[in-house]
Structure 1
């Protein structure tokens, strides 16, 4: 990475130097760069939809930013694979206390995609609604990636198209209208879910973009690809931020000058002189109804916006901010970016987040020369897949927040490999590559498969090794995954070697001490006080192979 201060340049491997520089009053602009590759967006809207999450029964005031690595049971995640369900926990808190519920894909979503227009038709539980968005293609031959532009102002659409991406002009008001009371919300979303829904406009707008993506996915890809970005300024910057956080198919999220109810940390807004939380909550029903309980006491929130930043990880995130308007809360926004960047770095994706408030023009939602090149570089990197420009934290000195004043937690070193269970030995977090339902130690899934009836694979007869025997009990197959439970007899202390046939991969493990060879296809399991262990395997297109016991050794 490279850290730049003013015009001088020096190299360092210590990330803390960038943060320390921000703690100095009047510090010059700080630029933080690394060189990790771009991460692909997910093929699904919500990877953690199957993760078991229970919200806290009571809330405890905390003036510091909540630890994004801490589970609700008090334990901390320790592997990168744990992030999938940790993110699901954060999403549950965000929807419950901040945005309101964003429902999953409705029972029927149809529509059309042309070179000039996208139509969306939604039906669910006997209700229906429709809306459309216009399309402007760049020059050249498609299909093209696209950037969804909320609201039609503040985004540099000319730069987007010249970079090679289409512009989808999306009017959020057709999905969730402003100027309505909370008990009579209007728009396509509320036509489906009711005008007294407690879901705020930002989540409703996000739902609308998700339905646009559904239609693009089903269109055959002749005009638009499924490489999608999202942007918007001011209130539509709030919306773009929510869109990217709540749909993991978004490859690049670019909120601009989003202000209160957007990127700035809720806990920092009262002390910065930004638009108050009560004002933002009351101006429009942007936030969910439940947030009204926290406008005067954000310290009681079990979540904050640095964790919404983290929800975008490891996908591309380019936050553009204005340090000249205190009402936008730019200092608090920089803290949110720095806090969320800790998750990016822990996931090995520190290069995929950019925060840029070092701009000279203070006009709200202006097209700025400082952002044009990085904007196009981000489109090339995340949507066109032709670039690899480094991520940048470039904070104007007049609005530089200090993360160290807001956190009492440290960033862990997350390991590679399968997810790690909490101390109880219960599997909780499958890896980010799939959507396995978390099984209990018995090897049975906690939720039924999404379609059809589960089938049971044929028994596996494992070889005996040394002075112990490892016996396999095949578990249930559901979707693209299955469980395996192993019982060891003949020794109280043992080591079992299990081979997995590629491209299958183990996702979740429990009740043993697991390690892997360099290929990731052979795992060694050692006893940890139990005579059984188990794991879930993702089939990845190979539905016939089953794990094989290579050896069982006592001692």
Structure 2
């Protein structure tokens, strides 16, 4: 599997919606060698290509982001396919029905649009795509789009592998795990919205959110479609905002937290290729500080909960602290925030986080100059950067242009 990484990279990077470069520009980027002998006990440097070349400019970063995208797909998530050859949409009331096909077979699914009064094609409003339903409050004037992600890629247990609408289209043996399937589905929702301006949704002000397992999915979807201006994963924990390496260290220290070896037995969120790393994450050429790096420079507000050790509070804080370095390198540190608050009701929204959530909405949906510099936890622990980070964050020169 790993020996074919260079081939998988060229295929995935050329067609994946998330790739921030056109195929022609991607071809000019450094080639990624096989990572068959990869090993890193630390959090791998996002500012060095797999071939050892340093990232020094924002143009370099666009190439590195395409590489990170491919590495995540090849080794952990499974490949996110290109858009379908045919996609049509039909709006009836507040229901948007989307039909996608690659000839045959085809699939259809419906999302619910909850629109504020007055939203029209000439006066569109921002909208948040919510995995499974909303668990955070939305400001007045913001629409919600409810996505049945479990119907798109089932997530009951191991028996869910290859089950759902995505797999009806691409085959039950597709390499994608459920989260890759969901990310593909979110991109199709955005495609359909582009076809239906009468929905009243402003495509320049789109967000995505979800909680717990759906928070994992929201973070992945946000990393893999640059059309999402604001990404808000809530209590995604291990397998989401947490880093595999830190979670393993927590478990070794006696903290009962979710690890890679447990998660691959629990459900099918990840591709089968990830199973090879579950008991040896130091051989994994990626970790989840790469996910916020792929969101950068767009808006990202990570909400976590220190009450549950299972969610890996130290892991998520340390992982996202490390991921924020990509925002810093691009000169937009405050575009990413993190706040973890202790409360016993999983997926409830704590009032203590409301000011920061409002600030992110106001900045990325309403163009206001707000303070989004939050990065805090009430967990009472310290993330030892010297233990996990052996590299410096560069200041990247030049300009970054994201393309779809």
Is this a same-fold pair by TM over 0.5? yes
Q: 1:218 to 1:389 in 2, by over 3 A?
A: farther
* Shift, 1:402, TM fit: 2.6
TM-aligned CA distance change 1:49 to 1:331, over 3 Å: farther
Alignment of 1:450-529 (within 5 A): none
1:210 and 2:187 matched: yes
2:155 aligns to what SS in structure 1? Answer: coil
1:255 CA displacement: 0.5
TM alignment of 1:177-216, pairs within 5 A: 177-179=154-156, 181=158, 185-216=162-193
Query: TM-score, normalization: structure 1?
Result: 0.65
Cα deviations across residues 494-523 of structure 1 (Å, max 9, x unaligned)? xxxxxxxxxxxxxxxxxxxxxxxxxxxxxx
Residues 339 and 374 of structure 2 are in contact (CA less than 8 Å); yes or no, is this contact kept in structure 1? yes
Distance 2:118 2:358 in 1: 16
Superposition pairs for residues 330-349 of structure 1, below 5 Å?
Answer: 330-349=313-332
Cα separation, 1, equivalents of 2:395 and 2:161: 47
When residues 389 and 192 of structure 1 are mapped into structure 2, their CA distance, relative to the original with a 3 A threshold, is: same
Deviation of 1:289 after TM superposition, in Å, equals: 0.7
What is the 5 A alignment of 1:205-354? Answer: 205-220=182-197, 222-226=199-203, 227-272=205-250, 273-354=256-337
Does the aligned pair in 1 maintain the 2:32–2:51 contact within 8 Å?
A: no
Matches within 5 A, 1:415-454: 415-416=397-398, 431-434=400-403
Provide, for residues 373-426 of structure 1, a one-character-per-residue CA deviation record: whole Å limited to 9, x for no partner: 322221221123244332311122425423331011111121125xxxxxxxxx
1:100, 1:132 → 2: CA distance? 25
Take 1:257 and 1:242, find their aligned partners in 2: how far apart are those partners?
Answer: 14
* 1:145 pairs with 2:96: no
Which residue, out of 364, 376, 379, partners 1:394?
Answer: 376
| 2:21–2:402 contact (8 Å) kept in structure 1 | no
CA distance in 1: counterparts of 2:376 and 2:155, whole angstroms: 33
Q: How many residues align structurally?
A: 374
Mapped contact 2:175–2:271 kept (Cα < 8 A): yes
Secondary structure at 1:286 match in 2: coil
Matching residue of 1:48: 21
Q: For structure 2, list consecutive stretches of 5 or more residues without a partner in the other structure.
A: 1-16, 251-255
1:78 maps to which of 42, 56, 67:
56
Q: Please, which runs of 5 or more residues in structure 1 have no aligned partner?
A: 1-43, 418-430, 436-555
Instruction: Render the CA deviation track for 1:254-300: whole Å, top value 9, x for unaligned.
Output: 10111221110110112223112122111110011101011111111
Deviation at 1:145, TM superposition (A): 1.1
Residues 165 and 379 in structure 1, CA contact (< 8 A), matched pair in contact too: no
SS of the aligned residue for 2:300 comes to strand
User: Are 1:323 and 1:398, in contact at CA under 8 Å, matched by a contact in 2?
Assistant: no
How far is 1:328 from its partner? 0.3
**91-100 or 213-222: which moved more?**
213-222
CA deviations 1:286-319 (Å, max 9, x no partner) are 0111010111111111111111111100000000
Whether 2:148 is the aligned partner of 1:171: answer yes
**Equivalent pair of 2:306/2:343 in contact (CA under 8 Å):** no
Identify which of structures 1 and 2 has the higher relative contact order when contacts are C-alpha pairs closer than 8 Å and 6+ apart.
Answer: 2
Say if 2:149 and 2:182, in contact at 8 Å, map to a contact too.
yes
- Deviations, residues 21-48 of structure 1 (Å, cap 9, x unaligned): xxxxxxxxxxxxxxxxxxxxxxx75323
Contact 2:238 2:247 (8 Å CA) reproduced: yes
Instruction: Classify the secondary structure of the residue corresponding to 1:84.
Output: helix
Answer 1 or 2: which has greater helix percent: 2
Cα shift readout 1:348-390 (whole Å, capped 9, x = no counterpart):
1101000001x24232111210122322221221123244332
The one of 334, 349, 352 equivalent to 1:370 is 352
Separation of aligned partners in 1, 2:311 and 2:342: 16
**Which residue is equivalent to 1:441?**
none
Q: How does 1:155-166 map to 2 (within 5 A)?
A: 155-156=135-136, 159-160=137-138, 162-166=139-143
User: How far is the alpha carbon of 1:194 from its aligned partner?
Assistant: 0.3
Q: Measure, in 2, the Cα distance between the counterparts of 1:209 and 1:243.
A: 7
TM-superposed deviation, 1:71: 0.8
* DSSP 3-state at the match of 2:297: coil
